[in-house]
C-alpha cells in the first residue's frame, strides 16, 4: 500500500458571500452531481497505481460510474437552470466556491485504507439516498436515481468488503483503517444536513427523510465496522461548508488538475 500522506492543514478557502439561492432545484442537482464528480475524480487518481491489477481495474470502473452519474445530474441541472450551461460547462468552468459537493469527497486519497474508508462511508450514504430519490416526484431525477442505485450497490459491496478485509487483517492494515475512519468521521455529519434548498425541493416532490437516512446509515456502518473489528468514533464534531461553497484547500488543487485540459482548450470537442 502507498504511504500515508502527511496531514495537510485542514483550512477552508475563503467563503463566498452568501446570497439567496435563485433556483433551488438546480442547486440541489448540482450538489448531487458535484459529490459524484469530485469523488469520481479522486478515485480515478488510483488508475495505474492500484495495489493489484484487479483492483486497479475495479477502481477505474467505479470512477467511470461516478462520473457517469455526475454527467447525468449536471446535464439535468443545466436544463433546469435554463442558462445554456451543459454538464461539461458545469464540471470544467466553475471555480471552487461554486461547487456544492460535501467536504468528505474532496479529501485526498492518502493510502488505500483512507480511500476505501472514504468510499465506504459515502457509498453507504449514496445507496440509501438513491433508494429514497428513486421514488421522488421528479421524473428525471427518479430515473437517474433508479439507474445509479443499481451501480452504487456494487460500489458499496466492494468498499465494505475492503473495509472488513483491512480492519480484520494485519496489525498494520487495522491501524491504517482505524486511522482513516477517525480522520474522515468529522466530515460525515454534513451529508445529513437539511437546509433551505432541501425544504424548497421538498415542495417540488423531492422529499428525503434525513433523520431516517442518518439512522439507517449509522446502523449499516456500525455493522460493517464491527465485522472489521474497528471502533466507531464517538466524536460529534462536524466539519461542514461544502454545500454553500466553503471548501478545504484540497478542492482547489483537485480542480486545477481536473479542469486543466478543458480550460486550456475552451470550446474544443472530441
Over the stretch 32-81, which tens digit does the pLDDT of each residue have? Answer: 999 999 999 999 998 888 787 788 899 999 999 999 999 999 999 999 99
Sequence ranges of the domains in the chain: 24-264
Give the integer Cα–Cα distance in Å for 123 and 217. Answer: 10
**SS3 for 133?**
helix
Average pLDDT over residues 84-113: 96
98 backbone dihedrals φ, ψ, rounded to 5°: -100, 0
- Residue owning grid cell 451529508: 191
- The CB density around residue 50, as the number of other CB atoms within 10 Å, is 16
| Angle in degrees, CA 33, 39, 45, rounded to 5 | 135
**In the structure, what pLDDT confidence band is assigned to residue 20 with cuts at 50, 70 and 90?**
low
Superfamily of domain 24-264: Ferritin, core subunit, four-helix bundle (1.20.1260.10)
| pLDDT tens digits, 110-133 | 999 999 999 999 999 999 999 999
**Count of CB atoms situated within 10 Å of the CB of 103:** 26
Cα 170 from Cα 190, distance rounded (Å): 32
Q: What is the pTM of this model?
A: 0.90
Name which of 194, 83, 206 is nearest 139 in CA terms. Answer: 206
CA 80 to chain centre: 22
Give me 247's grid cell.
471548501
pLDDT tens readout for residues 132-157? 999 999 999 999 999 999 999 999 99
Rounded Cα distance between 237 and 239, Å, is 7
Amino acid at each position: 500500500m502507498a504511504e500515508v500522506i502527511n496531514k495537510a492543514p485542514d483550512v477552508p478557502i475563503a467563503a463566498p458571500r452568501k446570497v439567496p439561492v435563485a433556483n433551488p432545484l438546480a442547486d440541489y442537482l448540482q450538489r448531487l452531481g458535484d459529490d459524484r464528480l469530485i469523488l469520481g475524480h479522486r478515485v480515478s487518481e488510483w488508475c495505474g497505481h492500484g495495489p493489484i491489477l484487479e483492483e486497479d481495474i475495479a477502481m477505474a470502473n467505479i470512477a467511470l460510474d461516478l462520473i457517469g452519474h455526475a454527467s447525468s445530474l449536471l446535464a439535468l441541472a443545466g436544463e433546469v437552470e435554463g442558462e445554456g450551461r451543459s454538464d461539461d460547462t458545469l464540471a470544467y468552468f466553475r471555480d471552487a466556491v461554486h461547487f456544492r459537493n460535501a467536504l468528505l469527497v474532496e479529501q485526498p486519497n492518502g493510502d488505500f485504507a483512507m480511500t476505501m474508508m472514504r468510499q465506504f462511508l459515502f457509498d453507504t450514504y449514496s445507496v440509501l439516498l438513491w433508494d429514497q430519490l428513486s421514488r421522488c416526484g421528479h421524473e428525471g431525477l427518479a430515473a437517474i436515481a433508479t439507474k445509479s442505485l443499481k451501480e452504487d450497490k456494487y460500489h458499496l459491496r466492494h468498499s465494505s468488503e475492503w473495509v472488513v478485509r483491512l480492519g480484520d487483517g494485519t496489525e498494520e492494515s487495522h491501524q491504517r483503517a482505524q486511522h482513516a475512519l477517525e480522520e474522515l468521521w468529522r466530515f460525515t455529519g454534513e451529508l445529513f444536513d437539511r437546509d433551505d434548498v432541501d425544504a424548497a425541493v421538498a415542495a417540488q416532490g423531492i422529499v428525503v427523510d434525513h433523520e431516517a437516512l442518518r439512522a439507517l446509515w449509522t446502523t449499516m456502518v456500525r455493522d460493517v465496522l464491527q465485522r472489521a473489528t474497528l471502533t466507531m468514533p464517538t466524536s460529534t464534531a462536524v466539519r461542514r461548508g461544502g454545500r454553500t461553497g466553503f471548501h478545504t484547500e484540497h478542492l482547489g488543487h483537485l480542480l486545477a488538475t481536473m479542469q486543466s485540459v478543458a480550460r486550456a482548450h475552451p470550446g474544443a470537442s472530441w
